[in-house]
Chains A and B, each alone.
Chain A
Amino acid sequence: MTSVATASPDTAAQSVPPRKKVSSLLRSQRRAGVWMALPASLHAGIWIGLPMLASIVLSFTQYDVISAPRFIGLANFEDLFTDPVFMTSLRNTAVYAFFTVPVSMAIALVLAVMLNQGIRGQMLYRTAIFIPQVTATVAIALVWLWIYNPRGGLANQLLGFFGIGQVSWLTDTAWSLPSIIAVGVWQGIGLKMLIYLAALQGLPKDVFEAASIDGATAVQKFMQITVPMLKPATFFVLVTSIIGAFQAFDQVYILTQGGPANSTTLITYEIYKSAFQQFRMGLACAQSLVLFVFLIVLTLINRRLMGGSNDDS
C-alpha cells in the first residue's frame, strides 16, 4: 500500500502565494482585450476552424457534393496509399520541395548579401528580383510556356547557340519535373531575398567591425557571423518555403496539368483533380489531411533540427 503524504492545512495555505488584488483598470483592460480579439477569433473559428473540422469529418466519407456524405471509415486513406498516382504525386512533391527550397534559399541569401552592399542601382535589382513574386502566376506561366516551347522557345534557342540538342521540356517525362522546379526556384527567390535582406539590415554592425579588426575575410565573416546570426530568418524562410513548395499548384495547372503521364502531378494538383474534376470530395479531404499532417511533421522536424527560432532571436 502506498502511503500518501499530506500537507497540513496551515502548510498548504502558506505555500500558495497570496492572490493579488486585480485592479478595476486591469479588469477592464482584460475585458477590452477579449472584445478586441473576438472578431479575429470568430473569423478564425468560422472560416478556418469549421472548414478544417468539416474537412477532417468528410475525409472519412464518400462525398460527391451532390449526394449526402456516406461514412466509409478509413477507405479513402486505404485508397490513397494504394493509388499509384497519389504515391507519384507524393514523390513528385517531395522532389519538388527538395530542389526548390534549398536552391532558392541559397540563391536568395547570396543575392540578399550582394544587394546589401550599397551597390549602385540596388533598388532596381531588388525590384527586378522581387517582381516574379507579385506577378500573376498565370502570366508567368505563359511566359515560361514560350521559353519551354520545343520549337523556337528561348530555352532551346540558347541550347542551340551552344550546339546542344533540343529538349522537349514539358512533354518529356524526364525533363518535365525539372522544368517545373526551375520555374518554382525562379519564382520563389524574390520573397526569400526580401526576408533575408530585412534580417541582414537588422544585424549589429559592430560585430562585423570587430571581425574586420581581427582580420577576418569576407567569406569568414559570411560563414561565421552572417549565417549563424541569420538563423531565425533562415528558420522562418525554411518553414514557409517548405509549406509553399508543398502547396505549389499554379505552375503545374497551367504548364503541364500534371502531365505527361503524371510526371508533374503534385499533391495539390491531385487534390484539385479529386475535388473538382472527379467529384470525389471525401477523397480530396483525405488527401488534404495527409498533406496537412505531412507539413506539421516537417515543421516540427525543422524546429527540432534548428533548435527553434525563438532560442536564438
Chain B
Amino acid sequence: MTLTRRSFLSAVGISSVALSAAACSGPTAGSGPATVATGKLSGQVSLLTPIFEGAAGKALLEQKLIPAFQKTHPDVSFKVDYVNYSALNEKLTTGLAGGTVADVLMLGVGWIPPFAAKGVLAELPAEFADGQGFHPRVLDPSRHEGKLYALPAVLDTRFVAYRKDIFEEAGITAPPQNWEELRGIAKELTRSSGGRISRAGIDAFSIDLRQGWEYALFANGGKLFDETGRKVLFNQREGVEALEFLAGLIKDGSTAFDFRSEAGKPLQLQTGNAAMALVNNAHFMTIQQQSPELIKEGKIGTFLLKNTTEAMFQGGTLASVSARSKNPDAAQTFVRYLASPEVILHTCEYRGSVPAISALASSDYVKNNDFVRFAVDNLDKSVSEGGTPAWMEIRDTIKAAVEEALTGKATAQEALDRLADTANDAIGRLQ
C-alpha cells in the first residue's frame, strides 16, 4: 500500500480516536458476586505495594513471602512495583489512565470506598473475611456498601506515649482522663529556655496533622461523615473542639507548631524533649533500636486519647484486586495469602505494625512489642478515617484546614466550615 498524505492523515486521525476511546473507557465492572478461585493457577501477577519499601522489605517479599506462595502455585510469577505512600496516588492515577494498573493493589484505610465505587476494585468473596479471626473494626475499612473489596494486611495505629520518669518526677501518677487534665499536665511539664521550648509538654504534630486532628475528633466522640458517607459531620461541635484542643496546646505554650520530631532522628519523646507524644505503633521499633534503655527501664508508657470517648486511631494497609486484572484468580488467591496469619506476622515484624488477626495476639512478636500489644488490646476502641466515596478528594484538603487553625489564620470553626464546603462539593460530584 502506498502511503499518501491523505491516507497518513486518516490513519493518524483514526489512531487518535481509538487512543482517546481507550483512554476514556472505564474499567470493566464485575459481572456478578465474587467467587473463590479454584483450579490450577498460572500466569503473572503484578503487585503495587507501599509497604515493602527498602532493601529489607524487598528481600522479605521476594525472597520469603513470594517463594512461599510459589511453593503451592509454582506457575504464578510476580512483577512488583514498590512505591511509598506519598507517591501511591500518582502511581494509581497514571496506571489507571494508561491502562497499566497492577493486578493486586495495596491501599490505605479510607481508600476502598472511593475506588470500589468507581469500579476500580473487584469484589472479593465474602468468605475470605469469615472465620479468619479479623477484628470486626479492622474489617470495616475493607468494605463498601456491604461488599468486601479488600483484606487487611497490616494495621498502623495512633495513640499517646509518655515518659513515665518525667511524670514521676512531677508527682503525676496517672495518665490524663480528659483534655482539660491533659492540657494541665502538658503545661506543667513544659520547660522553656531563651524563649524556645526546651521540653514540650506534648509533641502533638510529629504524626500527620490530618490524622492528629481526626484522632482528637474520634476521642471527642465525633465522626467525619454519616453512615451513608454523603453527609459531612466533622464541622460540628466535636470536630471544632478537637481542633481547638490542638490549637490550645500551642496557645498554652505546651508545644509549638514547629515542634516536631525530624525524620530519621530520634523522637523528641526519646530524647526527653517531650513528656508526651502522639505516636504511631511503629515508633516502638525506633525507640528499641535507638534507645533500648528506655524500654528496659520501663520509661515509656502509653494511653489512649480521651475526652468524651476513649479512642485509638486505626490506619493500615489493605490488599485488593484490580477489576481490570487479567489474572483475577491468581490475584485473588495472592490477596488471601497476603492476609494470612503467617504473612501478616512477617510483615508486621518488618514494619513494627499491628497484626489484623486476633490469633496473633499471643505471638512472641506482639508480646515483646509494648506499643503493638497496647494496640491489639485496644482494637475494640479503634476508629478509622474515610467513610465516603469522595474521600480521595477530601483527604488531601484536611491538612491545610488544620494548619489554618493551628497557625491562627482562621478559627477552628471557620477552617472546618471551609473544609466542609470543599467536602460537600466533592460529595456533590459523586454520581
A90 to B395, CA, bound (A): 22
A258 to B209, CA, bound (A): 14
Tell me if B373 is interfacial: C-beta within 8 Å of chain A: no
Of the candidates B20, B397, B410, which one forms a contact with A54 in the assembled complex, judged by CB atoms under 8 Å apart?
B20
Question: Smallest distance from the beta carbon of B311 to chain A beta carbons, Å?
Answer: 26
Q: Which residues of A contact B400 (CB under 8 A)?
A: 85, 258-259, 261-262
Tell me if A77 is interfacial: C-beta within 8 Å of chain B: no
Closest to B205 in A: A171
Chain A, residues 71-86, CB within 8 Å of chain B (1/0): the string is 0000000010000110
Binds A, one of B213-221, B298-306, B325-333, B401-409: B401-409
Question: Smallest distance from the beta carbon of B285 to chain A beta carbons, Å?
Answer: 24
Instruction: Please tell me if the beta carbons of B407 and A173 are within 8 angstroms of each other in the complex.
Output: yes
Instruction: Please tell me if the beta carbons of B429 and A261 are within 8 angstroms of each other in the complex.
Output: no
Kindly state the interface size class of chain B when it binds its partner: 35 or more
Instruction: Please tell me if the beta carbons of A276 and B407 are within 8 angstroms of each other in the complex.
Output: no
Going nearest first, the 5 A-B pairs with the smallest beta carbon separation are: A171-B258, A261-B403, A260-B403, A66-B118, A261-B404
Instruction: Give the total of A residues in contact with B, Cβ under 8 Å.
Output: 35
Tell me if B119 is interfacial: C-beta within 8 Å of chain A: yes
A194 to B29, CA, bound (A): 56
Tell me if B66 is interfacial: C-beta within 8 Å of chain A: no
A-B contact pairs, 22 of them (CB 8 A): A54-B20, A65-B96, A66-B26, A66-B96, A66-B118, A66-B120, A67-B118, A68-B24, A166-B195, A170-B258, A171-B258, A173-B409, A259-B403, A260-B257, A261-B407, A261-B409, A262-B403, A276-B93, A278-B426, A279-B93, A279-B393, A281-B97
Tell me if A126 is interfacial: C-beta within 8 Å of chain B: no
Question: Smallest distance from the beta carbon of A57 to chain B beta carbons, Å?
Answer: 9
Interface residues of B in 60-95 (CB under 8 A from A): 89-90, 93-94
Interface residues of B in 401-425 (CB under 8 A from A): 403-404, 406-407, 409-410, 418, 425
Given known A67-B431, A278-B392, contact A50–B16 (CB-CB < 8 A): yes
Tell me if A179 is interfacial: C-beta within 8 Å of chain B: no
Closest to A275 in B: B93
Of the candidates A50, A65, A258, which one forms a contact with B93 in the assembled complex, judged by CB atoms under 8 Å apart?
A65
Question: Smallest distance from the beta carbon of A285 to chain B beta carbons, Å?
Answer: 12
Interface residues of A in 23-74 (CB under 8 A from B): 50, 54, 62, 64-69
Closest to A272 in B: B90
Given known A62-B429, A64-B118, A168-B258, contact A277–B396 (CB-CB < 8 A): yes
Tell me if B262 is interfacial: C-beta within 8 Å of chain A: yes
Instruction: Please tell me if the beta carbons of B96 and A277 are within 8 angstroms of each other in the complex.
Output: no
Chain A, residues 209-229, CB within 8 Å of chain B (1/0): the string is 000000000000000000000
Q: Assuming A168-B258, A260-B403, what are 7 further A-B pairs, CB within 8 angstroms?
A: A261-B403, A261-B407, A261-B409, A261-B410, A278-B393, A278-B426, A281-B93
Q: Which residues of A contact B195 (CB under 8 A)?
A: 165-166
Q: Which residues of B contact A65 (CB under 8 A)?
A: 93, 96-97
For chain B, what secondary structure do more than half of its interface residues adopt (helix, strand, loop), or is it mixed?
helix
Q: Which residues of B contact A66 (CB under 8 A)?
A: 26-27, 96, 115, 118-120
Instruction: Please tell me if the beta carbons of A166 and B196 are within 8 angstroms of each other in the complex.
Output: yes
Of the candidates B25, B257, B262, B425, which one forms a contact with A149 in the assembled complex, judged by CB atoms under 8 Å apart?
B262
Tell me if A172 is interfacial: C-beta within 8 Å of chain B: yes
Q: Which residues of B contact A273 (CB under 8 A)?
A: 396
A150 to B403, CA, bound (A): 17
Given known A172-B407, A260-B257, A260-B403, contact A68–B396 (CB-CB < 8 A): no
Tell me if A192 is interfacial: C-beta within 8 Å of chain B: no
Tell me if B399 is interfacial: C-beta within 8 Å of chain A: yes
Closest to B408 in A: A173
Given known A166-B196, A260-B403, contact A276–B257 (CB-CB < 8 A): no
Chain A, residues 264-294, CB within 8 Å of chain B (1/0): the string is 0000000001011111110000000000000
A67 to B426, CA, bound (A): 15
Q: Which residues of B contact A79 (CB under 8 A)?
A: 425
Instruction: Please tell me if the beta carbons of A278 and B409 are within 8 angstroms of each other in the complex.
Output: no
Interface residues of B in 261-296 (CB under 8 A from A): 262
A259 to B205, CA, bound (A): 14
Closest to B90 in A: A276
Question: Smallest distance from the beta carbon of A232 to chain B beta carbons, Å?
Answer: 38
Q: Which residues of A contact B25 (CB under 8 A)?
A: 68
Interface residues of B in 369-409 (CB under 8 A from A): 392-393, 395-397, 399-400, 403-404, 406-407, 409
Given known A62-B429, A173-B409, contact A276–B258 (CB-CB < 8 A): no
A66 to B323, CA, bound (A): 11
